[in-house]
Amino acid sequence: MPTGDRPGIGPPLWLLAELTYRCPLQCPYCSNPLDFAQTQQELTTEEWVRVLRQGREMGAAQLGFSGGEPLVRQDLPELIAEARQLGYYTNLITSGLGLSEAKVNAFRDAGLDHIQVSFQASDPELNNAVAGSRKAFDQKLAMARAVKEAGYPMVLNFVIHRHNIHQMEDIISLCERLGADYVELATCQYYGWAFENREGLMPSKAQLEKAEAEVNRYRERLTASGSAMKLIFVTPDYYEERPKACMNGWGSLFLTVAPDGTALPCHSARLLPIDFPNVRESSLHSIWYDSPGFNHYRGDSWMPEPCRSCDEKGRDFGGCRCQAYLLTGNADNADPVCSKSPHHDRILAARQAADHATAGLEELTYRNTDNSRLFFRG
């Protein structure tokens, strides 16, 4: 496979196919765009096949099928089979709603390598309240077991926020009972709906430290018992003093294609005031190597101070452009997470607000507010 044909720019090794923004759940931390309902004209099966072929020709090796909820696409088995024929390692990221044992087996037969099932909490009441679905928890349990029985590694994901962070030991215990192989405890990252609800979702520092200690104690217990279950605890960078190396650098490894064909260097980048190309109008090769959108923040020539003269810029790349834009209104600024940023006070203010937050679940903004309000009223 080719290894790239532009000096200093390697190929996109990880392709994320966001097949749809449609989803049966209403999670208040959803990272999809706030105006997702206005995104119409999803790529057709033939258009997605063309994208997959072009990505593989460029050297992409790993492929994620995501959403919204990718299971609402009736052509998913066909796309999985095409990806297998092309030689991708494939991962399905799903809520589990709409999944069945028959579909799990069909996906396995089509060549799917990996299924990740998401949960909202360790108990039915909280899980279903966050998801906005009365049957979500039982369905997730059944499908997690079906995935395991089909021979897949059981990979579970929990988005952690102030309303479920107290359940850490119960969450891990549930995963252990289910026979999970990998558990991602991903503290909420604040984009899309999560940014809209940040004050109601962000845990306090004390809550976070307690949760991390509980995870570490459980890790020791798992090691002592000989368990092979792996716990991955992803902390929010709002409590760091240096920013994350977002996507390993802009336009470095990851290429996301949104449901309408917009090509993005990361899942959240379409919120930026940048004109990103569309796969209906340009080839992936041209998009990745030549488009202004993908070249916008490559390298470090774009960096203002303090990033420009910082000796850490080769490790963190100035941090997250989306976060800089959301918090300062200018995506060129240093990520405010960094203590060197002149806007770091906005992160400190967010931490202080988290220490005094009182909002309940019913006060959050959901993807579908009407449905969620009906759920809370019973």
What are the phi and psi torsion angles at 16 (to 5°)? -105, 115
Alpha-carbon distance 265 to 286, whole Å?
A: 14
Alpha-carbon distance 80 to 106, whole Å?
A: 10
27 is annotated as contributing to ligand binding: yes
Q: Write down the residue that tokens 């969450």 correspond to.
A: 171
Encoded tokens for 129: 């309240």
DSSP 8-state class, residue 75:
T
320 is annotated as contributing to ligand binding: no
Q: At 55, which amino acid appears? A: G
Alpha-carbon distance 324 to 273, whole Å?
A: 12
Alpha-carbon distance 13 to 63, whole Å?
A: 9
Q: Write down the residue that tokens 């902390």 correspond to.
A: 235
Interhelix angle for 344-356 vs 205-225, to 10°? Answer: 80
From residue 329, alpha-carbon distances to 31, 323, 332, 360 in Å are: 19, 9, 9, 28
Q: Are residues 319 and 300 in contact, defined by beta-carbon separation less than 8 angstroms?
A: no
23 is annotated as contributing to ligand binding: yes
Alpha-carbon distance 36 to 44, whole Å?
A: 18
What are the binding residues?
A: 23, 27, 30
What are the binding residues for [4Fe-4S] cluster?
A: 23, 27, 30
